[in-house]
C-alpha cells in the first residue's frame, strides 16, 4: 500500500483503579511517545487524540473510546496508535475480538509501540502467541488489582471507615480524616425537623410539601449548592425537590443514630460494572461509628409509625389523635374515625373498619372523647410508675452495696456452669457403665434423657441470668433512655399526638366497658421491676 497516508487516532488511557500511578504511564507521557513515533513515520498523520483519564481498561464503555469508534464508523480515521496493549484494554476476550475481528473487518490498522506490534505488517508466528499471551497477562493483572482493592475496602468498612464518594445528608467528611463522618450542622437541623414533624403527626408527603414551601434544598440540591458533582432523579419544577420517598429515606436511615451500614450494593466482579443489591447478611454494620443526630428512642418511634396504616383527612396537614393506634378486639383490624352530626353538634366515634366495609365483625363504636380520657388516665398512672422505678434504680445504683449484686450474679452463673459440667460428665460415663454391665440399655437411655433435660434446664437458666446481669450492669452505669423518654411527660395535663406516638404501642377496644392500652418498652419495664424485687429479696436475706 505504497504512498498511502493513514489518518491516525492517538489513544491514551489512565486508570485510577488498576494502579497506574507511575509517571511513565501518565497521559502526558503516552502523548509524547505517540507523537514522537508518528513524527518519524511519513505514512501517518494524527487526525485526533482520544483520552480516557480515570477509566478502567476492563470495560470498553469509556467516553473517549466510544468517540473513537464513532469516528471509525464515519471513516474519519483508519489507524489507531497506542503506547502498549494495556493502554488499549485489559480485557483479554474483548480486546482479542477487536484486534482479530472488528478492526480487520473495518480495514483499521492497529499499532502498539512498546509491543512492537503493527497489524499492517507481516505477521509472524510469534505474534499469534505473544499478542494473546499479553492480553491474558493484562487481564490477570487487572483481576489481581481488583481483588486487592476489594479486600482493602472491606477491611476499611469493617474498621468503621466511611469509603463512599458522598456522605449521607446531615453529615460531611471530617477535615482531619476523610474516612470519618462528622455532623453537618446546617443539614442536621433539617433532619431533626423531619423526625420531629413525623412524630407530631405529619405524613411523609406533608413534610415534603412543608420543606419545599420553606425553600429548604433537598439533599441533592444541597450537595450541588456546596459544589459537589451529585445528581438525583427526583426533581420538582426543574430542580431536585423534596418528595415523600426522600422523606422516607431520611426516616429509615440508621446512619442518623450513629450506625454505619456499608456494602449494601456493588459490582459482582471486575468485569461487570452494573451494580447489584447484596443480601442483608452481607452488609457491614458498625454501631456507634459516629455522632448521632437522632436519639435511638425517637428513631424507634418513627419506625413504629411508618408501619401503621394511616390516611390523612382532606384539608388536614396532620393526622388525627388516634390514627393508626386503635384496633378492634373482635377482628384485630384498625378502627377508623367516624363523624356523626346531631342537633347542631358534631360527635366523633371510632368504629371497626371491617364492619364499616360490610365484611363482618360487630357494629360496636366508641366515643373518641371517652377514649381520650381513658387513655390519658392510664398513661398518666403508667408514667408515674415508671418515674418511681427510675428513682428506685437510681437509688440502688448510688449504694455501695449495689456492686455486690453483680458479684452475686457471677457466683450463680459459676454455680450453673458447674452443674452443667457435672451432668455432662455423668452423661459421658453412662456408656462405660452400660458396657461394664452396671446399668442396662433401657436404664442407659433413661438416664441419658434425664441428664439431657437437666443440662437444657441449666443452660436456659444460665441464659436468663446472664441477661439479667447485663441489665443490672446497665442499670448501675447508665441513664436509661426509655425511662428518660417517659419522665419528660411526667407533668402532662392533656393527651397530644406526639405523647401517644412516643409512649403507646397500641390500643385495643373489646367493647364499651373493656379497653386495653399497650405501652412501649413494656418488656423493659417488667425486667426493671424484676430487678428491683430481686434487690429487695437480697436485702431481706441479709
Per-residue pLDDT band at 413 (split at 50, 70, 90): confident
Global pTM reads 0.55
264-303 per-position pLDDT tens digit? 776 655 455 677 777 878 788 888 889 999 998 899 989 9
More confident residue, 509 or 17: 509
Q: What is the mean pLDDT of the chain?
A: 80
More confident residue, 226 or 195: 195
* 507 CB neighbour count, 10 Å cutoff: 22
Per-residue pLDDT band at 24 (split at 50, 70, 90): very low
Distance (Å, rounded) from C-alpha 81 to C-alpha 76? 15
Residue 202's pLDDT is 85
154-166 per-position pLDDT tens digit? 777 777 788 877 8
Q: Which residues, including other chains, have CB under 8 Å from residue 442's CB and lie 6 or more apart?
A: none
Question: Is the pLDDT score of 133 beyond 60?
Answer: no
Residue 329's pLDDT is 87
8 A C-beta contact, residue 325 and residue 519: no
DSSP 228: -
Q: Which residues, including other chains, have CB under 8 Å from residue 127's CB and lie 6 or more apart?
A: 117
Residue 2's pLDDT is 59
Tell me the mean pLDDT in the region 215-226. Answer: 88
Distance (Å, rounded) from C-alpha 392 to C-alpha 404? 17
Q: Which of 80, 8, 88 is nearest to 48 (CA)?
A: 8
Per-residue pLDDT band at 117 (split at 50, 70, 90): confident
8 A C-beta contact, residue 325 and residue 507: yes
Which secondary structure element, helix H or strand E, spans residue 51, and what is its range?
A: strand 44-53
Question: Is the pLDDT score of 511 beyond 90?
Answer: no
Sign for the pseudo-dihedral over CA of 461, 464, 466, 469: negative
Tell me the mean pLDDT in the region 508-523. Answer: 89
Per-residue pLDDT band at 9 (split at 50, 70, 90): very high
More confident residue, 57 or 66: 66
Residue 187's pLDDT is 92
160-203 per-position pLDDT tens digit? 788 877 888 999 998 888 888 999 999 999 999 999 999 888 88
Buried b / exposed e along 314-333 (16+ C-beta atoms within 10 A): eeeeebbbbbbbbbbbbbeb
Buried b / exposed e along 72-88 (16+ C-beta atoms within 10 A): beeeebbbbbbbbbbbb
Which secondary structure element, helix H or strand E, spans residue 155, and what is its range?
A: helix 125-158
Tell me the mean pLDDT in the region 376-402. Answer: 80
Alpha-carbon separation of residue 125 from 118, 129, 131, 150 (angstroms): 14, 7, 10, 39
Q: State whether residue 262 is helix, strand or coil.
A: strand
Question: Is the pLDDT score of 55 beyond 80?
Answer: yes
Residue 201's pLDDT is 80
Tell me the mean pLDDT in the region 363-367. Answer: 83
To the nearest 10 degrees (0 to 180), the angle between helices 204-213 and 185-200 is 140
Q: Which domains does the chain have, with CATH numbers?
A: 6-154 (3.40.50.1390), 171-306 (3.90.1750.20), 375-541 (no CATH)
Give the number of residues written for the chain: 542
Tell me the mean pLDDT in the region 391-405. Answer: 64
Amino acid at each position: 500500500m505504497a504512498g498511502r497516508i493513514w489518518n491516525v487516532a492517538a489513544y491514551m488511557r489512565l486508570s485510577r483503579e488498576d494502579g497506574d500511578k507511575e509517571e511513565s504511564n501518565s497521559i502526558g507521557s503516552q502523548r509524547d511517545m505517540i507523537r514522537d513515533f508518528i513524527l518519524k513515520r511519513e505514512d501517518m498523520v494524527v487526525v485526533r487524540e482520544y483520552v480516557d483519564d480515570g477509566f478502567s481498561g476492563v470495560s470498553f464503555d469509556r467516553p473517549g473510546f466510544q468517540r473513537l469508534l464513532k469516528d471509525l464508523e464515519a471513516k474519519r480515521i483508519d489507524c489507531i496508535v497506542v503506547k502498549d496493549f494495556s493502554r488499549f484494554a485489559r480485557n483479554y476476550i474483548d480486546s482479542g475480538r477487536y484486534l482479530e475481528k472488528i478492526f480487520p473487518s473495518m480495514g483499521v490498522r492497529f499499532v502498539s509501540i512498546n509491543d512492537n506490534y503493527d497489524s499492517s505488517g507481516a505477521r509472524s508466528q510469534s505474534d499469534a502467541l505473544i499478542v494473546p499471551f499479553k492480553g491474558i497477562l493484562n487481564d490477570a493483572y487487572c483481576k489481581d488489582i481488583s481483588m486487592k482493592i476489594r479486600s482493602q475496602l472491606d477491611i476499611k468498612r469493617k474498621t468503621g471507615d466511611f469509603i463512599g464518594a458522598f456522605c449521607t445528608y446531615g453529615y460531611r467528611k471530617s477535615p482531619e480524616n476523610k474516612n470519618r463522618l462528622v455532623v453537618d450542622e446546617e443539614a442536621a437541623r433539617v433532619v431533626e425537623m423531619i423526625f420531629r414533624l413525623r412524630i407530631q403527626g405529619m405524613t411523609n408527603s406533608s413534610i415534603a410539601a412543608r420543606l419545599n414551601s420553606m425553600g429548604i434544598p433537598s439533599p441533592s440540591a444541597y450537595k450541588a449548592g456546596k459544589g459537589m458533582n451529585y445528581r438525583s432523579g427526583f426533581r420538582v419544577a426543574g430542580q431536585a425537590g423534596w418528595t415523600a420517598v426522600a422523606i422516607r429515606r431520611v426516616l429509615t436511615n440508621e446512619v442518623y443514630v450513629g450506625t454505619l451500614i456499608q456494602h449494601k450494593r456493588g459490582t459482582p466482579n471486575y468485569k461487570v460494572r452494573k451494580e447489584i443489591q447484596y443480601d442483608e447478611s452481607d452488609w457491614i454494620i458498625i454501631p456507634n461509628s459516629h455522632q448521632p443526630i437522632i436519639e435511638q428512642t425517637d428513631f424507634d418511634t418513627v419506625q413504629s409509625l411508618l408501619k401503621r396504616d394511616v390516611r390523612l383527612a382532606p384539608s388536614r396537614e396532620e393526622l388525627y389523635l388516634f390514627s393508626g393506634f386503635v384496633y378492634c378486639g373482635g377482628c384485630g383490624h384498625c378502627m377508623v374515625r367516624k363523624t356523626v352530626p346531631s342537633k347542631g353538634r358534631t360527635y366523633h366515634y371510632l368504629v371497626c373498619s371491617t364492619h364499616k366495609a360490610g365484611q363482618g365483625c360487630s357494629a360496636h363504636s366508641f366515643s373518641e372523647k371517652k377514649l381520650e380520657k381513658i387513655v390519658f388516665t392510664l398513661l398518666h398512672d403508667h408514667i408515674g410508675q415508671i418515674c418511681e422505678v427510675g428513682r428506685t434504680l437510681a437509688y440502688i445504683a448510688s449504694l455501695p452495696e449495689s456492686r455486690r449484686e453483680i458479684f452475686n450474679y457471677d457466683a450463680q452463673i459459676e454455680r450453673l456452669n458447674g452443674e452443667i459440667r457435672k451432668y455432662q460428665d455423668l452423661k459421658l460415663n453412662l456408656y462405660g457403665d452400660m458396657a461394664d454391665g452396671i446399668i442396662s440399655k433401657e436404664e442407659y437411655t433413661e438416664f441419658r434423657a434425664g441428664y439431657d433435660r437437666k443440662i437444657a434446664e441449666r443452660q436456659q437458666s444460665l441464659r436468663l441470668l446472664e441477661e439479667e446481669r447485663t441489665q443490672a450492669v446497665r442499670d448501675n452505669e447508665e441513664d436509661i433512655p426509655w425511662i428518660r423518654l417517659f419522665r419528660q411527660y411526667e407533668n402532662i395535663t392533656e393527651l397530644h399526638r406526639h405523647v401517644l406516638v412516643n409512649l403507646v404501642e397500641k390500643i385495643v377496644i373489646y367493647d364499651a366497658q373493656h379497653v386495653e392500652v399497650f405501652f412501649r418498652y413494656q418488656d423493659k419495664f417488667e425486667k426493671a421491676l424484676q430487678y428491683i424485687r430481686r434487690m429487695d429479696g437480697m436485702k431481706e436475706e441479709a
